[in-house]
Amino acid sequence: MKSSHRTNRSLGAATIAVATAAILLAAGHASAQSRASGTQMTPDSRRYLINKDVGPERWAISYNLQDRTVTGNVFRSDGSAPSFVWCTIASHVPSGDPAANRYLLDCWGAPQCVAAPCSDDDWQVIQQGIPISGSFLLPPATRVTFKANVEPVLDAQCATSGCHSGTSPAQGLDLSNGKAYDAIFRKPSSQDADHLLVEPFDPEASHLFGKITGTETGARMPLGGAPLSDEVVGAFRQWILEGAAEN
């Protein structure tokens, strides 16, 4: 995105509307939570689809968990043409309370493309470093997240020397920070090819969950260490029940 020469350009009316909405979202999203809203996870557990009122505007956006972008449309109450928004997540601070997750977004806005080819010159900087909470991006009543409750445990308890880390991890399974999710999500177990390590929405069908609870054949994980606490096991179970997203 060639943004440096656009920051000081005069924004068109459509982009000003997007900028206004972004500022409202950053400064007053708490009040927007009381308005009509809706959130849904896609069947592949890779995106959250969000429809929320922000000030006088309706945001219909998608939070892509794989590339960490927030994209979509902004519809204004006067019925005029929608604007478009594209944001990258510059930083993410997980919290034990998912609603209190903190994100900083860098956002660009554009009016509709009248005819192809569309130009990236249409996209202009709205604002950088927009603070957003998990209560806006995540489904209501989300209890656990991968980043706060699952990944740290895998990294600390399983991605140890001689086990699930390094150049030759056990069973070819690298559970270290930044690698664990792609290694376990809907991936077959090396011990049972018909059994997935993590089957979203179904803890009892997830081989990994069986290994940490001791219900699968073989040694209970983590190998050679104390069993995970009931609280941690419960967090793993809840994460899978909520769709096992990389949230």
pLDDT band at 3 (very low <50, low <70, confident <90, very high): very low
Instruction: Check pLDDT > 50 for residue 125.
Output: yes
The pLDDT score that the predictor gives to residue 222 is 84
Name 2's Cβ contacts closer than 8 Å, sequence gap at least 6.
120
pLDDT band at 19 (very low <50, low <70, confident <90, very high): low
CB 216 within 8 A of CB 210: yes
Instruction: Say if 33 falls within a structural domain.
Output: yes
The pLDDT score that the predictor gives to residue 78 is 84
Instruction: Check pLDDT > 50 for residue 171.
Output: yes
Distances, alpha carbon 239 to alpha carbons 2, 78, 158, in Å: 38, 41, 18
| Residue whose entry in the numeric block shows the structure tokens 């209890």 | 143
Average pLDDT, the chain: 84
Instruction: Say if 25 falls within a structural domain.
Output: yes
Read off the pLDDT of residues 196-229 as tens digits, 9 standing for 90 and up: 999 999 999 999 999 999 888 778 888 777 889 9
Read off the pLDDT of residues 30-89 as tens digits, 9 standing for 90 and up: 444 445 679 999 999 999 999 988 878 888 999 999 999 999 998 888 888 889 999 999
| 3-class secondary-structure state, position 66 | coil
Instruction: Say if 44 falls within a structural domain.
Output: yes
The reply to whether 154 and 129 lie within a common domain is no
The reply to whether 35 and 88 lie within a common domain is yes
Cα distance between residue 126 and residue 108, in whole Å: 5
Instruction: Check pLDDT > 70 for residue 6.
Output: no
The reply to whether 153 and 112 lie within a common domain is no
The pLDDT score that the predictor gives to residue 161 is 60
Range of the domain at 42: 13-137
Instruction: Check pLDDT > 50 for residue 146.
Output: yes
State pTM to two decimals.
0.84
Instruction: Say if 2 falls within a structural domain.
Output: no
17 versus 100: the higher-pLDDT residue is 100
Distances, alpha carbon 211 to alpha carbons 71, 90, 131, 139, 243, in Å: 38, 35, 38, 28, 19
Instruction: Say if 200 falls within a structural domain.
Output: yes
Total domains, the chain: 2
Average pLDDT estimate for 106-126: 92
